[in-house]
C-alpha cells in the first residue's frame, strides 16, 4: 500500500520538474528587490534633473537677456559717445573766417575718436566748409552744396541722424552719423564711422566661456561680431545668421533654442537698440549653457550606477538567502518523494522556513518508521491473514515468530490425479486450474485466519494454533479442513465436467511440533517441524477425493462436534505401528443437530478468542454441503 | 521643443565626458614663410609673436620653414611644384614673394600686401577671397597721398620731394602714381628715386643726395624697413625731413611716419594662420584692412633738422611722439 503512494509522489515530482516555470523564484525576488532599490533612486534623479533643467533654463534666459541688454547699452553708449563728441563741433555759429579753427577741431576729433574715419563740417547754408579724413585728402574752404543730402536734412530735422549700414569695398562696415547744433547757424557735422571698432565693445562681452553677442540691423546685415571676419564678409556673410535672427524675432523678450551660423545648438536672446534700429543677440552654446546640468546628470548617473550595482549585489544576496532554503526544501522533499527517508534538510535561517524544514524532517522520520512497519507487515502477510499480520505487528508480538515447541494442528491439502493431468495437458490448460485452486484455498485459509506454511505444486500446508494461539485448535482445524473441502468440491465438479479427472483430499493431525520462521534474508517462511506434520501429510496422501482424514488426537477432540467415521487402523509410512484413521463424515451423514452443536461450539470458542485478541469472529460457515461420492480413486 | 531639448540633454549627459575630452589632438603643422627679402625680418618676428600668443610652440606643434630668396622671385616660382607635395600646411608670403607664387593653388597662402590683392588677381573680393589666398592689405594707395599731405603740413613751403622706392615691391607703381598725383595737386615736384633690391640702395641714396630736394618720402617695404636706420641717418645728414610708412622708421630716427601698425598686422595674420591650420578655408576669410593708423613723430630728429613742431597744430594729432 505504501509503495504505491511512493510511486505517485515520485511521478508528481517528475512532472513538476518538467513543467517548472521559466522565471524562478530567485529571479522574481531578485528583480523585485532590485526594482524596489533602484526605481526610487532613478525617479528621484530624473525628476531632479528635470527641475534642475527648468531652473537652469530660466537662469540662462535671464543671463542672456541681461547680456543682450547690456551689450545693447554699451553699443548705444559707444554711438552716443561719438555723437556727443561730434556735438562739440556744432556748438558755435559759423562765421566766414572760421575754417582753420574748425579744421583743427575736426582733426582733434579724429585724434580723439578712432572710429571716425572722416568728418565733414557743413555750415548754416548747407555747404561743406571743412573735410578731414584719415585716408583721403583734407579739404578746407567752401565746398559742395550738401543742403539736400539726407544726412544734413536728417540732422536738421532730428538733431542726430544715423545713416544706413554700408560695406566699404563690400567688406568694411561703415555708417554715417550727422549731428546738428541747437540752432541752424551752427551747421551740421557729418562723420563716417568705421563700425569695425565696435568690435572692442562686442568682443568684450563674454557669456560663460564661449557665449557671445553680435549685432545686426533691421535689414539683417551683420554689424558687429567677435569674429570680425564674419562682418568683413559683408552682406554675403550676413545670411549665415538668418536662422538665429528669425528664431529670436519669433520670440521677442525670451531666450530661444536654435542653431547658429555654424549649425551648433545655441540658446539666444535679443535686445533692441531703438535709436539705431539695430538688434543685439546674445547667445551661448547649449552644451556650455547646460554644462552644469550635464555635470549634475553625469554625477547622478554615476551615483545611480553605483547604487544599482549595490542594489544588484544586495538583491542577489537577499534573493539567494530567500530562495536557497526554499530550493533546499524542494530538493529535500523531492528526495523524500523518491523514497530517501534518511535525508534531512538543514536550514538555519531562524524563521518559518527553518520551522518548515523541521516539520518536513519530522515527517520524513515518521514516513521512515511507517515504511519500516509496513514492510514488516508485508512480510507477515506472506503466511498470515492480513488482519492477523497487522495484529501481530501492532501488538509487537514478533517473538511469536521465533522458534518454539507447541501443539499445532497441521492440515495438508492435495489434488488427486493432478500429476497425471499435468503431464497430459498444456500449460495454458494447467495454469487456470492451479490459479482457481489456490484462489479458493487462499480465501478459506484467510477467512479462518490460519497460518499458511507453504505451497508446493498442487499441495498446501496450513497451520492452526501457531504462531497465534487459538482456543480449541482441533475444532478450528477440522472446520478449516471441512471448509477447504467444501470450497474445492464445486471446482472439482467443474473440472470433471471439462473432463479433467482431478480430486481433492485433506489430511489433518494435531500434536507437538517446533514452529518458527525459516529461510534467509527476504525469503522467510513460517513452518512447523515434527511428526505431526508427517502424519498430516500421510493422512492427506491416504485421503481420497472429498475426504478429510484425521488422526486420533483430532478425532478425540472434535468427536462431539463433528461426526467422524473411523476407518480403522492404517499403516503410516515412517511410523512403526499402524495408526487409527478417522474420516469426517460426508454432509449427508451429518445430523442437523450435530451440525448445530458444532456451530455453537465454534461460536463460543471464537467469542473467547475475540475477548482475548480482538480478532473479528469468523463468519458462519456457509459452505454448501453436497453429496459426495463415497470413494474416488486418487 | 523644450522637452526634446531636455531629452537630448539627458542622452548627451552620458556621452558628454567623452566628447569633452576628444578635441585637443592637433598634429604638428608646417608653415612655410617665404620672402624675397633677407633676415633680419621684422615681419617674421611679428608673425612669430602672433603664433606664440595663440599657443603655438615652434618645434612642438608648428614648424616654421623660413625660405628667403633675396631679390629673386624666380627662385620662389620654382618652388611651386614642391608645395603640392602635401608636406606644407600653409604658406605665408611677405612682400614681392606673393606675386611670385600667385599661381599656387594646392596650399592655402596668407599674404601681407601694401598693394591691392584684387588688382593682383589673388582674390575675387576683399569680403570673399574665393580661392586659396587671403591675408592683409595696408591701403597703401590712400595712405601714399596722405603722407605727402602730412609732409606739406610740416613744411608748407615744400616744392621738391624725393620719393625713394623699391621697385621689387608689388603694387609699387600704383603707389608711385598715387603719390605723384597728390604731389602735383599740392604743387610739389616729386623726384622718383627707384631702386631694385638692397643692392641698388646705395646708389639710390647717392642719387637722392644729389637731388637738391627739401624732403624725402620713403615707400614702406621690407628693404627700407631693414635699412631704416641708415635711411633716417641719411635724411638727417642731408637735412631732409623724412616721411615713412611705419612707426618703426621713426624709432630708428625718421621724422614722421603714418600708417598701420605692422606688428599688429602680422599679429593679426597669425590669427588667420591659426584658423587655417585648424581647417578653415581661406576662401571664406575676408582680406583684412587696418582700421587704425598711427601718426608717429620723432621730436629729436625734428630738433636736429631745426623744425619747430611744438608750435604747430601737428603734434596733437600724433599717436606716438618720440622725445
State the alpha helices, DSSP H only, in B54-107. Answer: 73-77, 80-83, 97-100
What CA–CA distances, in Å, run from A125 to A31, A145, A535? 93, 8, 176
Say if the Cβ atoms of B127 and A111 lie within 8 Å: no
Mean pLDDT value across residues A541-559 = 88
pLDDT value at residue A631: 40
Question: Has domain A396-613 been given CATH number 3.30.70.1230?
Answer: yes
> Taking residues A589-618, what's their average pLDDT?
57
Phi and psi at A541, nearest 5°, equal -60, -35
Task: Tell me, yes or no, if B127 comes closer than 8 A to chain A by beta carbon.
Answer: yes
Chain A CB contacts of B284 under 8 Å are 229, 233
The C-alpha of B101 sits at a distance from chain A's nearest C-alpha, in angstroms, of 24
The predicted pLDDT at position A376 comes to 77
Look at chain A and count its residues.
634
Cα separation, A490 vs B24, whole angstroms: 115
Query: Is A544's pLDDT higher than 80?
Result: yes
pLDDT band with cut points at 50, 70 and 90 for residue A630: very low
Given a cut of 60, is residue A572 above it in pLDDT?
Answer: yes
A590: confidence class by pLDDT, cuts 50, 70, 90: low
Domain boundaries, chain A: 52-291, 396-613
Tell whether B5 is within 8 A of chain A (Cβ).
yes
State residue A288's pLDDT score: 85
Q: How confident is the model at residue B17 (pLDDT cuts 50, 70, 90)?
A: very low
**pLDDT of amino acid A613:** 57
pLDDT greater than 90 at residue A76? yes
pLDDT at residue B16, rounded to an integer: 47
Contacts of B286 (CB under 8 A, 6+ apart): A171, A229, A232, A233, A234, A237, B126, B127, B128, B129, B134
Residue A562 pLDDT greater than 50, yes or no? yes
Which chain B residues are closer than 8 Å to A118 by Cβ?
Answer: none
Question: Rounded to the nearest 10 degrees, what angle do helices B172-185 and B140-154 cross at?
Answer: 40
Between A374-378, A547-551, A589-593, the lowest mean confidence (pLDDT) is in A589-593
Give the pLDDT score at B231: 93
User: Cα separation of A566 and A575, whole Å?
Assistant: 19
What does the pLDDT average to over A329-357? Answer: 84
Q: Give every CB contact of residue A552 below 8 A, 6+ residues apart in sequence.
A: A579, A580, A582
Do A236 and B128 lie within an 8 Å CB cutoff?
yes
Nearest-5° Cα angle at B200, B194 to B203: 85
Mean pLDDT along residues A82-93: 90
- Residues in chain A closer than 8 A to B289 (CB atoms): 171-172
Check CB contact of B182 with chain A, cutoff 8 Å. yes
Distance from the Cα of A302 to chain B's closest Cα (Å) equals 9
Whether A188 has a pLDDT exceeding 90, the answer reads yes
Contact B14 A298 (CB under 8 A): yes
CB contact under 8 A, A135 and B287: no
Q: Is the pLDDT of residue A121 over 90?
A: yes
Q: What is the pLDDT of residues A153-174, one digit of tens each?
A: 999 998 899 999 998 888 889 9
Do the Cβ atoms of B128 and A290 come within 8 Å?
no
- Contact call for A232 and B139, based on CB within 8 A: no
Q: Cβ–Cβ of A171/B286 closer than 8 Å? A: yes
pLDDT grade for A598, boundaries at 50, 70 and 90: low
Looking at residue B21, its pLDDT comes to 40
CB A171 to CB B185 under 8 A?
Answer: no
- Cα distances (angstroms) measured from residue A475 to each of A227, A402, A515, A563, A626: 134, 25, 20, 12, 21
Asked whether the beta carbons of residue B149 and residue A137 sit closer than 8 angstroms, the reply is yes
Lowest mean pLDDT among A415-429, A468-482, B30-44: B30-44
Contacts of A257 in chain B (CB under 8 A): 1-2, 5
Partner-chain residue, chosen from B2, B127, B272, that has the shortest CB–CB distance to A167: B127
Residues of B in contact with A234 (CB under 8 A): 127-128, 286
| CB within 8 Å: A107 and B317 | yes
Q: Which of A152-156, A582-586, B62-66, B75-79 has the highest mean pLDDT?
A: A152-156
Q: Please name every residue paired with B30 in a beta bridge, in sequence order, or none if there are none.
A: B63
Q: Please answer yes or no on whether A171 and B125 come within 8 Å at the CB atom.
A: yes
Nearest by CB: B316 against A108, A232, A297? A108
State percent of chain A over pLDDT 90: 15
* Greater pLDDT, B95 or A476: A476
Query: B26: which 3 cell numbers?
Result: 592637433
- Please answer whether residues A395 and A614 qualify as being in contact, where contact means their C-beta atoms are separated by less than 8 angstroms: no
**Cα separation, B104 vs B81, whole angstroms:** 8
Check residue B94 and give its pLDDT. Answer: 77
Contact by Cβ (8 Å): B201, B227: yes
Confidence of residue A587 (pLDDT cuts 50, 70, 90): low
CATH number of this structure's domain A52-291: 3.30.450.20
Q: Give the whole-angstrom CA distance, residue A56 versus residue A297.
A: 13
CA of B135 vs chain A CAs: smallest distance (Å): 11
The model's pLDDT over B222-236, given as tens digits with 9 standing for 90+, comes to 788 888 899 999 999
Q: Is B7 on the interface with A (CB under 8 A)?
A: no
User: Which one has a higher pLDDT value, A591 or B88?
Assistant: B88
Q: What is the pLDDT of residues B106-143, one digit of tens each?
A: 889 999 887 788 888 889 888 889 889 999 887 667 88
**Minimum distance, in Å, between the CA of residue A183 and any CA atom of chain B:** 29
Q: What is the pLDDT of residue A518?
A: 80
pLDDT digits (tens, 9 = 90+) for A229-263: 888 888 777 777 878 888 888 877 778 888 887 78
Closest residue of B to A295, CA-based? Answer: B13
CB of B285 within 8 Å of any CB in chain A?
Answer: yes
Residues in B closer than 8 angstroms to A138, CB to CB, are: 149
Q: Which residues of A touch B (CB under 8 A)?
A: 46, 49-50, 53, 57, 104, 107-108, 110-111, 114, 134-138, 167, 169-172, 194, 196-197, 228-229, 232-234, 236-237, 257, 286-287, 290, 293-294, 297-298, 301
Inform me whether the C-beta atom of residue B32 falls under 8 Å from chain A C-beta atoms. Answer: no
Choose the weakest-confidence range: A116-120, A132-136, B43-47, B50-54: B43-47
Chain A: closest CA distance from residue B52 (Å) = 20
Q: What is the pLDDT of residues A254-275, one digit of tens each?
A: 788 888 877 888 888 888 898 8
Q: Which residues pair with A210 in a beta bridge?
A: none
Residue A17: pLDDT band with limits 50, 70, 90: low
**What average pLDDT is seen over chain A?**
82
The pLDDT score that the predictor gives to residue B170 is: 74
| B291 contacts A197? CB cut-off 8 A | yes
pLDDT digits (tens, 9 = 90+) for A501-516: 889 999 999 999 998 8
Q: Do A137 and B128 touch (CB under 8 A)?
A: no
Q: How far is A240 from chain B (nearest CA, A)?
A: 12
Domains of chain B as residue ranges with CATH: 26-138+262-284 (3.40.50.2300), 140-259+293-322 (3.40.50.2300)
Q: Which residues of A are less than 8 Å from B292 in CB distance?
A: 114, 197
CB-based contact (8 Å) between B146 and chain A?
Answer: yes
The mean of the pLDDT values for chain B is: 84
Average pLDDT, integer, range A419-435: 88
Give the tens place of pLDDT for each residue, B238-258.
999 999 998 889 999 999 999
Cβ separation A170–B126 shorter than 8 A: yes
Amino acid at each position: 500500500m505504501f509503495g504505491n503512494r511512493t510511486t505517485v509522489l515520485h511521478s508528481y515530482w517528475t512532472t513538476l520538474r518538467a513543467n517548472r516555470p521559466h522565471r524562478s523564484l530567485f529571479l522574481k525576488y531578485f528583480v523585485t528587490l532590485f526594482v524596489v532599490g533602484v526605481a526610487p533612486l532613478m525617479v528621484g534623479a530624473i525628476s531632479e534633473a528635470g527641475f534642475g533643467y527648468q531652473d537652469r533654463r530660466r537662469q540662462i534666459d535671464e543671463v542672456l537677456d541681461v547680456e543682450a541688454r547690456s551689450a545693447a547699452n554699451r553699443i548705444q553708449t559707444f554711438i552716443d559717445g561719438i555723437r556727443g563728441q561730434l556735438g562739440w563741433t556744432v556748438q558755435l555759429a559759423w562765421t566766414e573766417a572760421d575754417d582753420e579753427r574748425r579744421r583743427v577741431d575736426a582733426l582733434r576729433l579724429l585724434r580723439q575718436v578712432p572710429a571716425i574715419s572722416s568728418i565733414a563740417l557743413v555750415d548754416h547754408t548747407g555747404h561743406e566748409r571743412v573735410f578731414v579724413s584719415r585716408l583721403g585728402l583734407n579739404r578746407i574752404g567752401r565746398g559742395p552744396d550738401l543742403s539736400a543730402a539726407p544726412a544734413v536734412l536728417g540732422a536738421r530735422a532730428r538733431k542726430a541722424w544715423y545713416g544706413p549700414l554700408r560695406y566699404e569695398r563690400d567688406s568694411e562696415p561703415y555708417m554715417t552719423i550727422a549731428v546738428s547744433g541747437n540752432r541752424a547757424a551752427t551747421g551740421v557735422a557729418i562723420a563716417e564711422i568705421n563700425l569695425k571698432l565696435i568690435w572692442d565693445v562686442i568682443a568684450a562681452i563674454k557669456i560663460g566661456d564661449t557665449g557671445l553677442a553680435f549685432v545686426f540691423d533691421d535689414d539683417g546685415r551683420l554689424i558687429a561680431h567677435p569674429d570680425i571676419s564674419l562682418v568683413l564678409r559683408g552682406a554675403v556673410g550676413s545670411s549665415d545668421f538668418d536662422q538665429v535672427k528669425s528664431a529670436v524675432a519669433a520670440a521677442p523678450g525670451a531666450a530661444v533654442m536654435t542653431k547658429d551660423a555654424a549649425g551648433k545648438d545655441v540658446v539666444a536672446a535679443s535686445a533692441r537698440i531703438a535709436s539705431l534700429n539695430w538688434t543685439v543677440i546674445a547667445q551661448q552654446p547649449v552644451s556650455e549653457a547646460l554644462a552644469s546640468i550635464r555635470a549634475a546628470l553625469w554625477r547622478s548617473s554615476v551615483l545611480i550606477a553605483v547604487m544599482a550595482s549595490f542594489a544588484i549585489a544586495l538583491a542577489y544576496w537577499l534573493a539567494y538567502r530567500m530562495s536557497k532554503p526554499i530550493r533546499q526544501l524542494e530538493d529535500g522533499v523531492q528526495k523524500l518523494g523518491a523514497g530517501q527517508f534518511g535525508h534531512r534538510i538543514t536550514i538555519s535561517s531562524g524563521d518559518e522556513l527553518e520551522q518548515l524544514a523541521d516539520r518536513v524532517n519530522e515527517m520524513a522520520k515518521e514516513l521512515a518508521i511507517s515504511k519500516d512497519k509496513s514492510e514488516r507487515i508485508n512480510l507477515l502477510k506472506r503466511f498470515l491473514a492480513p488482519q492477523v499480520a497487522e495484529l501481530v505487528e501492532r501488538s509487537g508480538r514478533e517473538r511469536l515468530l521465533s522458534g518454539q515447541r507447541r501443539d499445532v494442528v497441521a492440515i495438508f491439502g492435495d489434488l488427486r490425479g493432478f500429476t497425471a493431468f499435468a503431464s497430459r495437458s498444456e500449460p495454458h490448460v494447467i495454469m487456470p486450474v492451479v490459479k482457481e485452486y489456490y484462489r479458493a484455498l487462499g480465501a478459506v485459509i484467510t477467512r479462518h485466519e490460519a497460518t499458511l506454511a507453504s505451497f508446493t505444486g498442487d499441495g498446501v500446508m496450513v497451520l492452526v494454533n501457531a504462531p497465534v494461539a487459538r482456543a480449541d485448535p482441533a475444532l478450528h482445524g477440522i472446520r478449516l479442513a471441512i471448509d477447504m473441502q467444501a470450497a474445492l468440491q464445486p471446482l472439482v465438479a467443474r473440472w470433471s465436467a471439462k473432463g479433467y479427472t482431478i480430486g481433492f483430499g485433506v489430511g489433518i493431525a494435531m500434536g507437538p511440533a517446533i514452529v518458527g520462521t525459516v529461510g534467509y534474508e527476504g525469503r522467510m517462511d513460517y513452518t512447523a517441524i515434527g511428526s505431526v506434520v508427517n502424519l498430516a501429510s500421510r493422512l492427506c496422501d491416504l485421503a481420497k477425493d472429498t475426504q478429510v482424514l484425521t488422526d486420533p488426537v483430532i478425532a478425540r477432540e472434535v468427536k462431539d462436534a463433528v461426526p467422524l467415521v473411523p476407518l480403522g487402523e492404517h499403516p503410516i509410512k515412517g511410523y512403526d505401528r499402524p495408526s487409527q484413521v478417522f474420516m469426517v463424515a460426508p454432509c449427508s451423514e451429518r445430523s442437523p443437530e450435530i451440525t448445530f452443536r458444532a456451530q455453537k461450539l465454534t461460536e463460543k470458542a471464537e467469542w473467547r478468542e475475540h475477548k482475548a485478541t480482538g480478532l473479528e469472529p469468523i463468519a458462519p460457515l456457509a459452505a454448501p454441503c453436497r453429496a459426495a461420492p463415497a470413494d474416488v480413486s486418487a | 521643443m523644450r522637452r526634446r531639448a531636455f531629452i537630448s540633454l539627458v542622452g548627451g549627459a552620458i556621452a558628454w565626458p567623452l566628447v569633452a575630452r576628444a578635441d585637443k589632438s592637433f598634429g604638428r603643422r608646417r608653415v612655410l614663410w617665404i620672402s624675397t627679402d633677407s633676415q633680419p625680418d621684422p615681419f617674421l618676428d611679428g608673425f612669430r609673436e602672433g603664433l606664440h600668443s595663440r599657443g603655438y610652440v615652434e618645434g612642438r606643434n608648428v614648424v616654421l620653414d623660413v625660405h628667403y630668396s633675396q631679390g629673386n622671385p624666380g627662385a620662389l616660382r620654382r618652388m611651386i611644384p614642391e608645395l603640392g607635395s602635401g608636406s606644407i600646411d600653409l604658406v605665408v608670403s611677405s612682400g614681392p614673394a606673393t606675386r611670385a607664387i600667385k599661381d599656387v593653388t594646392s596650399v592655402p597662402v596668407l599674404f601681407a600686401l601694401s598693394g591691392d590683392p584684387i588688382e593682383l588677381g589673388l582674390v575675387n573680393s576683399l569680403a570673399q577671397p574665393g580661392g586659396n589666398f587671403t591675408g592683409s592689405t595696408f591701403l597703401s594707395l590712400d595712405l601714399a597721398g596722405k603722407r605727402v599731405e602730412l609732409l606739406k603740413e610740416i613744411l608748407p613751403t615744400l616744392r621738391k620731394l624725393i620719393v625713394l622706392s623699391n621697385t621689387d615691391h608689388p603694387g609699387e607703381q600704383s603707389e608711385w602714381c598715387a603719390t605723384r598725383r597728390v604731389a602735383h595737386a599740392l604743387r610739389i615736384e616729386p623726384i622718383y628715386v627707384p631702386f631694385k633690391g638692397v643692392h641698388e640702395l646705395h646708389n639710390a641714396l647717392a642719387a637722392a643726395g644729389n637731388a637738391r630736394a627739401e624732403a624725402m618720402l620713403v615707400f614702406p617695404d621690407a628693404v627700407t624697413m631693414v635699412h631704416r636706420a641708415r635711411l633716417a641717418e641719411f635724411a638727417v645728414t642731408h637735412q631732409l625731413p623724412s616721411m615713412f610708412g611705419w612707426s618703426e622708421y621713426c624709432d630708428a630716427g625718421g621724422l614722421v611716419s603714418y600708417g598701420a601698425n605692422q606688428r599688429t598686422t602680422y599679429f593679426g595674420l597669425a590669427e588667420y594662420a591659426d584658423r587655417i591650420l585648424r581647417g578653415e578655408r581661406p576662401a571664406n576669410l575676408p582680406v583684412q584692412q587696418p582700421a587704425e593708423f598711427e601718426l608717429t613723430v620723432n621730436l629729436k630728429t625734428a630738433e636736429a633738422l631745426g623744425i619747430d613742431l611744438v608750435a604747430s597744430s601737428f603734434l596733437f594729432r600724433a599717436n606716438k611722439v618720440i622725445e
